[in-house]
Amino acid sequence: MKRISIMGATGSIGTQAIDVLKDNRDQFKLVSLSAGRNMDKLREILKTVEPEMVSVMDDGDRKALASEFPAITFVSGESGLDAIAADDSDMLLTAVMGSVGLAPTLKAIENGKDIALANKETLVAAGGLVMNAAKKNNVNIIPVDSEHSAIFQCLRGERHSEIKQLIITASGGSFRDLSRAELDNVTLADALNHPNWAMGRKITIDSATMMNKGLEVIEAKWLFDLETDQITTLLHKESTIHSMVEFVDNSIIAQLGNSDMKLPIQFAFSHPDRLPMDNPLDINALSQLNFKPMDFERFKMLELAYEALKIGGTMPAVMNAANEYAVDRFLKGEISFLDIEKIVELRMEEHEVIGEPDLETILHYDKLFKSNMR
Ligand SMILES: NC(=O)C1=CN([C@@H]2O[C@H](COP(=O)(O)OP(=O)(O)OC[C@H]3O[C@@H](n4cnc5c(N)ncnc54)[C@H](OP(=O)(O)O)[C@@H]3O)[C@@H](O)[C@H]2O)C=CC1
Ligand SMILES: CC(=O)[C@@H](O)[C@H](O)COP(=O)(O)O
Ligand SMILES: [Mn+2]
């Protein structure tokens, strides 16, 4: 039985992962999980599963829960996430939002755990450090992000040297049918209305700005070890093809499925095996699949991400931190939708890059560029 821990269990990915574990109790054992501040959701989860350890952000919450659930060990704060990283599970699902996942993910890798990676900001901020640590500790990083899971599946049994390019598909997000001029007056509620996927708030905004695709390009670079110009993006409004790989003989292999994250989550948990699932894709009901070249002038954030990737060093971490900061302010109603892009661009322009940063340097810039975060 594979022993699994979940960091970010109360979120969109986390709750779907709990469902996957409940559907496969004979395959997986849930060892530990972490929550942030959503104690209602955590209590709901703890009524249905029995982890050995639970981490929460706030120590007051820890004390309250400890008396309610005496069979569970509760921990809190940063050291709580470290305790999850150090438990005796075989695999950690990283499903927290943002670069807060970086340090515990590195600790989990150093402890020899395989990683089911949903938390893309970790690879964006410190891809080199994470992939080197994984190699050194003989740890597998299995992508959960739908596009990267698709590519990972397309590449099973293939040779790295025979890849021509990755084609990462993009839904276009909530405002895909609006011009740049029409973005001036869009609302938070509209931005949170993703056409295809039900996800957490931050990633839904990233999808609307196209920063999500930018983060995914950088994530792909680290996961699949390719040249930047081998990683391309394509608008595909149905989100049915989750991504594709083109090989040197021009053959293109794609992975298709419903917009349901349970599939990539379960695949990461069970890899190298596949397990049966409900919710099959009804291929007969697919009347058409649409594709459109990416428009970099319309989706400027994607261009910024390619720039950050080419510059390297601390720049992707700075871009990510500035984006987390700006999206947080947009979610709080403090800035407009287009201000997100302005903030990210300005912070990138101002930053003097440091090449090959260590963890301390990355965490320093991460903190600095989020320092006005309220
Ligand atoms: N949702 C999706 O379909 C997809 C998500 N991803 C990626 O997966 C990650 C999670 O996304 P999603 O599930 O949508 O996000 P959510 O916002 O729904 O969930 C985030 C989780 O992280 C916890 N959390 C947030 N901040 C902290 C913190 N400072 N310390 C500890 N825990 C914290 C939250 O706790 P609480 O709520 O209790 O405060 C919650 O459990 C992101 O990196 C996203 O880009 C990738 C592909 C698809
Ligand atoms: C489900 C998932 O992996 C998200 O990252 C999703 O891909 C967002 O869709 P778009 O960024 O293509 O709108
Ligand atoms: Mn994705």
* One domain for residues 234 and 292: yes
CA angle at 317 for the pair 315 and 323, rounded to the nearest 5°:
100
Asked if residue 17 has its Cβ within 6 Å of ligand 1, the reply is: no
- Strand, helix or coil at 273? coil
| Backbone φ and ψ of 156, nearest 5° | -65, 125
Residue to mutate, 168, 205, 207, 232, ligand 2, most ligand atoms under 8 Å from C-beta = 207
* One domain for residues 168 and 304: yes
Please give the mean pLDDT across all residues of the chain.
97
Q: What single-letter DSSP state applies at residue 231?
A: E
| Backbone φ and ψ of 242, nearest 5° | -80, -20
Ligand 1 atom closest to Cα of residue 122: 43
* One domain for residues 216 and 290: yes
Residue to mutate, 5, 7, 10, 12, ligand 1, most ligand atoms under 8 Å from C-beta = 12
pLDDT tens, position by position, 329-355: 999 999 999 999 999 999 999 999 999
Token pair for 219: 């994530």
Domain end point (choices 311, 339, 359):
311
- Look at residue 371 in the predicted model and tell me its pLDDT: 82
pLDDT tens, position by position, 154-171: 999 999 999 999 999 999
Which residue's CA lies nearest to atom 2 of ligand 1?
A: 199
Q: Is 219 exposed, middle or buried (0-12, 13-18, 19+ CB in 10 A)?
A: buried
291: in domain? yes
* One domain for residues 124 and 178: no
Q: Per-residue confidence at 274, pLDDT binned at 50, 70, 90?
A: very high
* One domain for residues 123 and 21: yes
* One domain for residues 155 and 302: yes
* One domain for residues 153 and 53: no
- Look at residue 373 in the predicted model and tell me its pLDDT: 61
- Look at residue 358 in the predicted model and tell me its pLDDT: 98
- Look at residue 184 in the predicted model and tell me its pLDDT: 94
Of the chain, the percentage scoring pLDDT greater than 70 comes to 99
Distance (angstroms) between ligand 2 centre and the Cα of 194 equals 9
* One domain for residues 6 and 136: yes
* One domain for residues 156 and 124: no
Domain end point (choices 122, 143, 164):
143
ipTM over 0.85: yes
Asked if residue 324 has its Cβ within 6 Å of ligand 1, the reply is: no
Ligand 1 atom closest to Cα of residue 118: 8
Token pair for 75: 């921990």
Q: Where are the alpha helices (DSSP H) in 137-273?
A: 146-154, 188-191, 201-209, 211-224, 262-270
- Look at residue 224 in the predicted model and tell me its pLDDT: 98
What DSSP string describes 5-61? EEESTTSHHHHHHHHHHHHTTTTEEEEEEE--S-HHHHHHHHTT---SEEEES-HHH
Domain region containing 292 = 148-311
Ligand 2 atom closest to Cα of residue 213: 11
Kindly report the CATH number assigned to the domain that includes residue 35: 3.40.50.720
Please say whether the beta carbons of 291 and 236 come within 8 A. Answer: yes
State mean pLDDT over 45-53: 97
318: in domain? no
pLDDT tens, position by position, 308-325: 999 999 999 999 999 999
Domain end point (choices 267, 292, 311):
311
* Nearest partner of 13 among 166, 144, 139, 156, judged by Cα: 144
Please say whether the beta carbons of 89 and 6 come within 8 A. Answer: no
